[in-house]
Amino acid sequence: MFDSRHVKTFHEVVRSGSYSGAARALGYTQPAITQQMKALERAVGSPLFIRVGRGMRLTEAGETLARHADTILTSISTAQQQMSAITRLRSGRVRVCAFPSANATLIPEAMARLAAAHPGLRVELLEGEPPDSLGRVVRGECDITLAFTYPGLREETPAELVEIPLLEDQLTVLLPTGHPLARRRAVKLAELSEERWIAGCLRCRANFLHECAEQGFAPDIAFTTDDNLVVQSMVAAGLGVAMMPGLVLSFLCHQKVTGRALDPASRRHVSAYVLREHLEIPATARVLEELKTVAGNRVGC
């Protein structure tokens, strides 16, 4: 491996034609130049210069290195500039994976703030539901993932990941407009034990079944779909009722659907997950800061 400082000194010796000339140009002593060239020759495994009278000429190895020295130094300089841009947030890329309702709410606002402050950063958006989305971080397919968990379910997070809590997302019961319970401010889950239900994704459905069991009944699930717009449309059509997170209702609200809080309140935890070492990457850390700010501003989710 070549020391880049030695290559720079070698390049100056070749340009100036002597050790003394290189010393003057670089501000070194001549013995320092000599020591650097000896170290470089040891790394190369061959002499680089041959004394000819008062001057010197390059050996075959020296001529080869001389042809590449300028390219090497230019590449190093370019790399340093690009690394500096990344660490100073003038450029860089962060891959974020999130579940659909987070991609439709938290992500756009956070990315708008990021684009205003650091327009050189690029964020790639992916979509995935937990627990699969957590595995994508571990496998290196993304840098940050947003996922949700339910307090009543036993769920294991990969040991490699660090959790950054973002918000508590309140669950809501969706009723068709005109439903008798729609006049109430809050609804007990047990009061809907005789209703037909429309269930969502696997994790949400597991929590829903758990909460119903806690209330002493098994729900009649007539339909299942991961599409939140379809859920609302089915409720509006009178095909059943549903349980839906507040994040979804903040961007989807069918005019023939009424949302009511649960009594007692039920929530899911929304967090960001990253590999511990990624916390030290400036661009990743900045995206996390924006996500925390945006999540903290969402009152009533």
Is residue 150 within 8 Å of residue 241, measured between CB atoms? no
Q: How many CB atoms lie within 10 A of CB 155?
A: 15
Q: Residue 50: helix, strand or coil by DSSP? A: strand
pLDDT of 297: 87
Per-residue pLDDT of the chain (301 residues; tens, 9 = 90+): 678 888 888 888 888 888 888 898 888 898 999 999 999 899 888 898 888 777 788 888 888 888 888 788 777 766 666 565 455 555 578 899 999 999 999 999 999 998 898 888 888 999 999 989 999 999 989 999 999 999 888 878 888 999 999 999 999 999 999 999 999 999 999 999 999 999 988 889 999 999 999 999 999 999 999 888 999 999 999 999 999 998 988 887 788 999 999 999 999 999 999 998 888 888 888 899 999 999 998 754 3
Q: Which CATH superfamily is 85-167+268-297 part of?
A: Periplasmic binding protein-like II (3.40.190.10)
Decide: helix, strand or coil at residue 13: helix
Per-domain boundaries in the chain: 4-70, 85-167+268-297, 170-267
Please, what is the angle between helix 106-117 and helix 282-296, to 10°? 130
Residue type, 75: S
Domains 4-70 and 170-267 share a fold: no
Radius of gyration of the chain (CA): 31
Residue 299 has a pLDDT of: 52
The token pair that represents 109 in the structure block: 């606002």
pLDDT the model gives residue 226:
87
Architecture of domain 4-70: Orthogonal Bundle (1.10)
Does the domain at 170-267 match CATH 3.40.190.10? Answer given as yes
Phi-psi domain of 216 (left: phi exceeds 0; alpha: psi -120 through 50; beta: other) = left
Q: What is the pTM of this model?
A: 0.69
